[in-house]
Amino acid sequence: MADMREPIESGCPDPWQYLHPTMRKNFGQWKYHEHPRPGVLLHVAYSGDKIWTVKAGTQRILDVFTLRKLCDIGDQFADGYVHFTLRSNIEYMVNDETKVQPLIDALEGAGFVVGGTQNSVAMISHTQGWLHCDIPGTDASGVVKSMMDELIDEFRNANMPNRVHITTSCCQINCGGQGDIAINIQHTKPPKINHDLVANVCERPSVVARCPVAAIRPAMVNGKPSLEVDERKCICCGACYPPCPPMQINDAEHSKLAIWVGGNHSNARGKPTFQKLVAAGIPNNPPRWPEATAIVKRILKAYKEGARDWERVNEWIERIGWPRFFEEVELPFTKYHIDTWRGARASFNSSTYIRF
């Protein structure tokens, strides 16, 4: 151990050194912003200083060649500073308006996509999927690449009623997070248990404790200590799979995609909202997932046509009502849309508010 190096526990680095000088100078002194064109923001400080931000979408999983290309563009046009957004877009800041168009041209020329500002369909937030996760029901980067290929015009423009945040997740942990539209794995069969491995691999009491519906209990199977699942109680959530990989939840046929809508993190106009189930049973169909994309596009089309200015997806539906939503997007309404979890009663309509 003598040659082992002690870590320097420096934690989160100070960003001050990485701020564009105009941002450093006007820190906390910004006055207003404008949106000169999609993909570009203009911020004006009380000092009179201006800074233009050009935002671009990338493949998110960056190879070092792509990262260096992004750096080259930053060096050439943006004084060597960049900022990454929450949704993994890259932003370049320039304090000279004449640099904006050449910067856009350089980004587009190199294959990146300028957009993602204001009322656009923003970059889909996602994580790893089959590329790196230990529990994924699907891929994330592939789903996102396939969908963004089809939604690229909505990313490049900003003509939705309000911004649209799409997320995707490969299990119910939902790393992608709440979204105006969320495309998430929904398993439909209980885990398949490899009883030979459970005793050696899984800490059985913790696995029992993980189950949200107490469907797992210790059992002896073929003379070995294992776990069994009460399949009538099991909700196929997959919570047992991470602590106990022999309880395989992913299934090539029965792990489906579900689509949820109306998640909204902002407090603007209303309190933040969680997303609601609208479609399920969608095939998990690599490499292009056309069925899921088709539904997303139907929802976006109905929203774009039907929502008023500033209405997010949840607000649009709240105004037109769920019956009309299902009608407009041509999705079936089923008993599975009726919540059964704790607090479900709060989602029932206890009034005569019915639209005809």
Stretch that binds another protein, among 98-106, 108-116, 294-302, 322-330 (CB under 8 A): 108-116
Q: Does 186 bind another protein (CB under 8 A)?
A: no
Q: Looking at 58, 117, 168, 293, which residue binds another protein (CB under 8 A)?
A: 58
Q: Does 32 bind another protein (CB under 8 A)?
A: yes
Tokens of 86: 């929450």
Provide CB contacts within 8 A for 138, sequence distance 6+.
129, 130, 170, 185, 255, 257, 284, 286, 289
Provide CB contacts within 8 A for 6, sequence distance 6+.
none
Q: Looking at 37, 50, 265, 297, which residue binds another protein (CB under 8 A)?
A: 265
CB of 294 to another protein, least distance (A): 15
Report DSSP state, residue 125.
B
Taking CA atoms, 162 is separated from 55, 135, 316, in Å, by 18, 34, 10
Q: Which is nearer to another protein, 152 or 221 (CB)?
A: 152
- At 50, phi and psi to the nearest 5? -125, 145
Q: Looking at 21, 36, 47, 67, which residue binds another protein (CB under 8 A)?
A: 67
Q: Does 193 bind another protein (CB under 8 A)?
A: no
Prior bond of 287 cis (ω within 30°)? yes
**Residue ranges in 122-151 that form contacts with another protein under rule CB under 8 A:** 125-139, 141-142, 145-146, 148-150
- Would you call 110 exposed, middle or buried from its count of C-beta atoms within 10 A (0-12, 13-18, 19+)? middle
Q: Looking at 120, 168, 172, 314, which residue binds another protein (CB under 8 A)?
A: 172
- Measured between alpha carbons, how far is 154 from 165 in angstroms, rounded to an integer? 12
Stretch that binds another protein, among 58-66, 189-197, 219-227, 294-302 (CB under 8 A): 58-66
255: helix, coil or strand? Answer: strand
Q: Does 157 bind another protein (CB under 8 A)?
A: no
Per-residue contact track with another protein, 232 to 261, x per CB under 8 A?
-----x-x-----x----x-x--x------
**Residue ranges in 208-227 that form contacts with another protein under rule CB under 8 A:** 209-210, 212
Taking CA atoms, 226 is separated from 89, 229, 234, 243, 244, in Å, by 46, 10, 17, 14, 11
Q: Which is nearer to another protein, 5 or 232 (CB)?
A: 5
Cα diameter, the chain: 78
Q: Does 64 bind another protein (CB under 8 A)?
A: yes
Q: Does 37 bind another protein (CB under 8 A)?
A: no
Provide CB contacts within 8 A for 131, sequence distance 6+.
61, 139, 140, 141
- Measured between alpha carbons, how far is 228 from 144 in angstroms, rounded to an integer? 36
Tally of CB atoms within 10 A around 99: 18
CB of 115 to another protein, least distance (A): 11
**Residue ranges in 74-93 that form contacts with another protein under rule CB under 8 A:** 74-75, 80-86, 88, 90, 93
* Total interface residues for another protein by CB under 8 A: 119
- Measured between alpha carbons, how far is 296 from 294 in angstroms, rounded to an integer? 5
Tally of CB atoms within 10 A around 313: 28
Q: Which is nearer to another protein, 99 or 145 (CB)?
A: 145
Q: Which is nearer to another protein, 186 or 226 (CB)?
A: 186
Q: Does 294 bind another protein (CB under 8 A)?
A: no
CB of 255 to another protein, least distance (A): 7
Q: Which is nearer to another protein, 75 or 327 (CB)?
A: 75
Q: Does 333 bind another protein (CB under 8 A)?
A: no
Q: Looking at 47, 206, 334, 347, which residue binds another protein (CB under 8 A)?
A: 206
Q: Which is nearer to another protein, 68 or 220 (CB)?
A: 68
Q: Which is nearer to another protein, 128 or 157 (CB)?
A: 128
